[in-house]
Chain A
């Protein structure tokens, strides 16, 4: 099972999932097509309720697509029940077995596959060390903090060396420092094991820093797929631009441009000058943020935008300024 085969990754073809509900059918995933490469760190990013968990569940075999097909290494996995898919999940709710110790939880998958005991013991020990819970093996899940439970869930899935690891908001319960450490750890694991990671998050920083590619989802649809840089620099829609990082949107005319659509730009891409620039405005607020300083500027048309500068500028509230934005940093969205 762990043998590396010639693989062509995971292909999701026009997959939809509809749930019945009292107010009529809910289309949780709407005609999604994706190809995920072997050994890719692929992230599904989107707001709550956009269908991320549902898509993961269909890959794991826990939900059956209403239509469409899912191919793993050129094989249609639709007929395979969850327990026969070389896929493991780190559940959003952890779903640890409350009647088993941490060690037994982690060993569960290998036991079910009938692996020899010595191999299981060794793998479990390594997995515990990996998630820094070496001394907690004999505890019951209820005796662990939320973050520790989440790490057990991670170890329990990883220890099986699946072809695909599905992670549903798997770092969300960790504190900032541990989270950063686990991000680096996950990235390293993914590179070393050759496992494909499909990672669900609604934290855009996490998505940008960890992913090879990101699919931004909106209401059951994929709004854009691309590398973090593509998505950040060239968001396909206004929704994507807004969801990834902060983006100012103003009328083209406010920037002195001859266009009738809205133009977007990132706070860090624009700067201001007291001399000539693209649009005029007044500084309304100066917000010192440590590494950067935010300037809230009201344009002459009444629109309010945010700029960020690395070094504090020599200006004061109510000073009149003009914007300077390199033309290639302007974002023109189709929708």
Chain B
């Protein structure tokens, strides 16, 4: 009888939980399922095929969009992780208590700001720079002309910083300052100390921060859609443009691939975090 006193035993609670799981995963499973459908109608099953994957692979625009996405995601991951690591190290222990809390909150607050707001802010920011007649404006214009991905890369780097920052910050909190003092006491210059002590010990936080940044960049649609010039289409933006012409199993195939990449990254980030904890 004791078990029935727990609120989690109320009638309907368990059912609702299972239903939620079903609602979350069934649509995704359907997408994967129909990516193997030997028919271009996406709702009627006609037999198994991998043709849609081949077709997706042969689509040149799709390949370019994927390639763009990878360049942006890798670049944004690198820059945002470096920035986040520097921010976490710089803010550690140097600020008075109240300020430290505020600075940490301000680093992670963008996670809660609606993405559309950030998108519009970023877009306006770029257009102000591009239109300004200062040297910076013209130099930036040249850069954008030469590398259409520049704006996307910068925007992604910026919004990935908070994602990379959280696990890095959590890790740095667990390291006693005496370790860095011991390194200095043992003749390590600040750079050597960073190389030999800080970085190896920060690695679990850095890796999971980098993975979060990567997946965030790879997934992003709204901000990219706003800031990307014509030649800088990323995979999600391209998929969206395909969808407007109607959903085909080819899109299902691309979505399935994107899904697998995302799951792999999230799982490895989780595993790394678990290993760090033990």
Which residues of A approach B to under 8 Å, CB–CB?
60-62, 81-84, 87-89, 91, 93, 95-99, 108-109, 112-113, 156-157, 160
Question: Which of B179, B182, B189: most chain A Cβ within 10 A?
Answer: B182
Instruction: Check B196 for interface membership: any CB of A closer than 8 A.
Output: yes
Within the complex, the shortest CB–CB distance from A130 to chain B, in Å, comes to 17
Q: Which A residues are in CB contact (< 8 Å) with B189?
A: 83, 112
In the complex, are the beta carbons of B186 and A109 less than 8 A apart? Answer: yes
Instruction: Give the residue of B188, B200, B201 whose beta carbon is less than 8 angstroms from that of A112.
Output: B188
In the bound complex, residues from chain B placing their C-beta under 8 Å from that of A88 are 185-186
SS class of chain B's interface: helix, strand, loop or mixed?
helix
Cα–Cα, bound, A99→B179 (Å): 11
Contact partner, A91, options B182, B188, B192, B196, Cβ 8 Å: B182
Which residue of chain A is the closest to B197 with respect to CB atoms? A97
- Nearest neighbor of A113 in chain B, beta-carbon distance: B187
Q: Does B181 contact A (CB under 8 A)?
A: yes
- Residues in chain A near residue B186, CB distance under 8 A: 83, 88, 108-109, 112, 156-157, 160
A60 to B182 Cα, complex, angstroms: 10
Beyond A93-B176, A98-B201, is A108–B185 a contact (Cβ under 8 Å)? no
Task: Report Cα–Cα, A81/B179, bound state, in Å.
Answer: 16
* Closest B residue, CB atoms, query A159: B186
Number of interface residues of B (CB under 8 A): 19
**Shortest distance from the beta carbon of A208 to any chain B beta carbon, whole Å:** 28
Q: Does B6 make an interface contact (CB < 8 A)?
A: no
Q: Which of A61, A91, A156 contacts B178 (CB 8 A)?
A: A91
Interface centre among B176, B187, B190, B200 (most CB of A within 10 A): B187
**Which chain A positions have C-beta within 8 A of B242?**
none
Expressed in whole angstroms, the Cα–Cα distance for A98 and B182 within the complex equals 12
Task: Kindly list chain B residues whose C-beta atoms are within 8 Å of the C-beta of A98.
Answer: 179, 201
Query: CB of B121 within 8 A of chain A?
Result: no
B193 / chain A contacts, CB cutoff of 8 Å = 83
Chain B residue contacts of A81, Cβ below 8 A: 184
Q: Are B184 and A62 in contact (CB under 8 A)?
A: yes
By a CB distance below 8 angstroms, the chain B residues around A95 are 176, 178-179, 181-182
Query: Quick one: which of B178, B185, B196, B197 contacts A83, CB cutoff 8 A?
Result: B185
Whether B185 pairs with A97 at a CB distance below 8 angstroms is: no
B97, closest chain A residue (CB)? A22
| CB proximity of B97 to chain A, nearest CB, Å | 9
Other than A89-B185, A95-B182, A112-B196, give 11 A-B pairs with Cβ distance below 8 A. Answer: A60-B185, A62-B181, A83-B184, A83-B189, A88-B185, A91-B182, A95-B178, A108-B186, A156-B186, A157-B185, A160-B186
Q: Which 9 A-B pairs have the closest CB atoms?
A: A109-B186, A95-B182, A95-B178, A82-B184, A112-B187, A112-B188, A83-B184, A89-B185, A99-B200
A97 in contact with B182 given A108-B196, A112-B192 (CB within 8 Å):
yes
Give Cα A92–Cα B186 distance, bound, in whole angstroms: 15
